Amino acid sequence: MGRHGLRHKPVLTREDMRELDRVTIEGGVPSIDLMERAGEQVTAAIVEELPRLEPVPESSPSAFVLAGPGNNGGDGFVVARLLAARGWDVTVGLCAREPEPDSDPGVNLRRWRDLGGEIIDTHASLARLARPRAATIAVDALFGTGLVRPLEGDYHDLVSALNDGSTPVVSVDTPSGLCANTGMPLGVAVFARLTVTLGAAKPGLFCGVGPNHAGRVVVADIGLRSPQEAGIVPVGELIDADACAAWLPHRHRMAHKGELGHVLIVGGSLGKCGAVLLAARAALRGGSGLVTMAVPDIVAAQADTSLVEAMTLALPATSEGELAGSAWRRLSSQAARFDAAVVGPGMGTGRGAAALALGMIESFGGALVIDADALNVLASDRKTAAAAFAERARAGLGPVIATPHPGEMGRLLGRSSASVQEDRLDAVRRFCSDYAATVVLKGAGSIVSDGRRTGFNTSGNPGMASAGMGDVLAGLVATFAVQRSDPFEAATLATFIHGAAGDLLAERRRAPGFLAGEVADAVPEAVAAIGKTLPA
């Protein structure tokens, strides 16, 4: 994949990290050196990120380090020592039995004591956390990736007190109480402003509700062996600007609209024409040379005058304003003109919509993005849908990229939306296995996968939780599916750019309230910013 491929930012499970630690230590790196490096990296990240943490700290910062059992607590002792060496006022809350003196945590606890460092116990820590401002920051070094049981008793109370307080929290490796693999709380989990994760990213920081708990994530290199050296296959890779930059399409000086792709957007119904318009607008902003909107004839005039840069194809409609059963017959005679298509935005779930969605899967030759209502009508007969996907692949037709949100994914898998959120990575794997297609599972921490490669998106923000954002994404996916022959790369690029455009707006507005259309319009600027990450 080259310098800017995804492989240089692996995502590893807790089991993978345990194995990577073992291989590194057996390879000659003392475990206490790894603990020291971890503390150094966490300290450096705290100092660098401190201006971003609110409220603005005083000139002489202070830290309250909550140290739990095991190596995570040992990392906390190192952080305490190194912050104190920088002039910070540091208190350590020892929230566990004292470690064995000759263990790595025990050695670092002794080093902290030898400096005269202050140590208080669990109950004193709870009392400290009850104060309005316990310190400039609190360092959560209670539990790391190895936690598998729900937090109970004093630990539950400590985490609850941390979350109830006003002190910004920095978590070491993972927020305590968060499952490192799924991103779901184990009873209760810390809400951190910053998480410094050690060695490699963990899926739980980007899945489920993990992003809410992790805050800003910094991946710290502590000198572990590479996954390849340890014989570990990562569960995925991080999707960021560096990873996507080399995939940006290049437009030569003699380019013309005919060679930049003709994207078809199929959908719309009475009252829901906006979904098609947003997808078409995004396709144009993403660089498509031509865009046509195929909509029920009852809304064709509205579509035609609302986006003058796009063309309109009127399809037969029912009296209710949805696509009629004959819509696919009308469209199929012209489908060969298009290089890629989106089917589903605002389409409705009537018989005409179902016939059209299935017809597009069975015979459309270009790249096909299936979104929204098209996913819902396919979910009503999962066996038929899976067979159609498989036959399409055997026929050598263009790739399929599905863009479900958790509810739609649940219907496609015969699960609840909640169960999808509980293990988003497993849901994506199941979908790729069942439907032989590339998928973008939308939501905070979108996941892209083609069954062989998986990417965890790092762009986007809560301000994008509003109507029409998914339509914009679908249009972008189709655009990049024309410009990139690899559907995984196309979906990955579109997903990151979509979130990056939203991030540009969030940075300017400093509050929610921006619109999906504005995100589409910010796409060119987001693309330009990503392009700047390429080496000169």
- Among 172, 202, 234, residue at a domain's last position: 234
What is the CATH classification number for the domain harbouring 197? 3.40.50.10260
Predicted pLDDT at 249: 85
> Are 174 and 145 a contacting pair, CB within 8 Å?
yes
Looking at the domain assignment, is residue 97 inside a domain? yes
Q: Is 179 exposed, middle or buried (0-12, 13-18, 19+ CB in 10 A)?
A: buried
Q: Mean pLDDT for the chain?
A: 94
Residues 375 and 331 in one domain: yes
Which segment of 96-100, 130-134, 173-177, 342-346 scores lowest on mean pLDDT?
130-134
Amino acid in position 100: E
Q: What's the pTM?
A: 0.93
Looking at the domain assignment, is residue 310 inside a domain? yes
Q: What is the mean pLDDT of residues 235-251?
A: 91
Is the per-residue pLDDT at 6 higher than 60?
no
For 435-458, the pLDDT digits (tens) are 999 999 999 899 999 999 999 999
Looking at the domain assignment, is residue 105 inside a domain? yes
Predicted pLDDT at 134: 77
Predicted pLDDT at 54: 65
Residues 222 and 284 in one domain: no
Can you list the alpha helix ranges (DSSP code H) found in 307-396?
327-332, 351-363, 372-379, 382-394
Q: What is the mean pLDDT of residues 92-119?
A: 97
Q: DSSP code of 189?
A: -
- Nearest Cα to Cα of residue 1 among 220, 319, 234, 329: 234
Predicted pLDDT at 3: 30
Looking at the domain assignment, is residue 248 inside a domain? no
Looking at the domain assignment, is residue 36 inside a domain? yes
Predicted pLDDT at 131: 84
Residues 304 and 216 in one domain: no
For 182-232, the pLDDT digits (tens) are 999 999 999 999 999 999 999 999 998 999 999 999 999 999 999 999 999
Residues 280 and 165 in one domain: no
Domain boundaries, position 206: 6-234
Q: What is the mean pLDDT of residues 475-483?
A: 97
Q: What is the mean pLDDT of residues 359-379?
A: 98
More confident residue, 289 or 130: 289
Predicted pLDDT at 53: 80
What percent of the chain has pLDDT above 70? Answer: 97
Residues 268 and 220 in one domain: no
Looking at the domain assignment, is residue 246 inside a domain? no
Helix axes 469-483, 273-285, angle to 10 degrees: 40
Predicted pLDDT at 485: 86
What is the CATH classification number for the domain harbouring 458? 3.40.1190.20
pLDDT tier at 534 (50, 70, 90 boundaries)?
low
Residues 187 and 48 in one domain: yes
Looking at the domain assignment, is residue 509 inside a domain? yes
Judging by DSSP bridges, how do beta strands 290-296 and 262-266 pair with one another?
A: parallel
pLDDT tier at 5 (50, 70, 90 boundaries)?
very low
Phi, psi of 386 (to 5 degrees): -60, -40
More confident residue, 531 or 181: 181
Predicted pLDDT at 246: 87
- Among 168, 203, 234, residue at a domain's last position: 234
For 494-504, the pLDDT digits (tens) are 999 999 999 99
H or E element that contains 138: strand 137-141
Q: What is the mean pLDDT of residues 271-285?
A: 98
Residues 218 and 270 in one domain: no
What percent of the chain has pLDDT above 90? Answer: 89
Residues 429 and 389 in one domain: yes
- Among 182, 203, 234, residue at a domain's last position: 234
Looking at the domain assignment, is residue 282 inside a domain? yes
For 144-173, the pLDDT digits (tens) are 999 999 999 999 999 999 999 999 999 999
Q: What is the mean pLDDT of residues 111-122?
A: 96
Is the per-residue pLDDT at 270 higher than 60?
yes
Predicted pLDDT at 14: 97
How many Å apart are CA 64 and CA 83, to the nearest integer? Answer: 11
Predicted pLDDT at 532: 79
Q: CA 315 from chain center: how many Å?
A: 36
Residues 365 and 507 in one domain: yes
Predicted pLDDT at 533: 66
Residues 6+ apart with CB under 8 A from 172: 38, 42, 72, 75, 76, 79, 139, 140, 141, 144, 196, 198
Residues 408 and 455 in one domain: yes
Residues 228 and 372 in one domain: no
Phi, psi of 414 (to 5 degrees): 70, 35
Residues 384 and 267 in one domain: yes
pLDDT tier at 327 (50, 70, 90 boundaries)?
very high
- Count up the domains in the chain and report the number: 2
Predicted pLDDT at 357: 97
pLDDT tier at 258 (50, 70, 90 boundaries)?
confident
Q: What is the mean pLDDT of residues 264-290?
A: 98
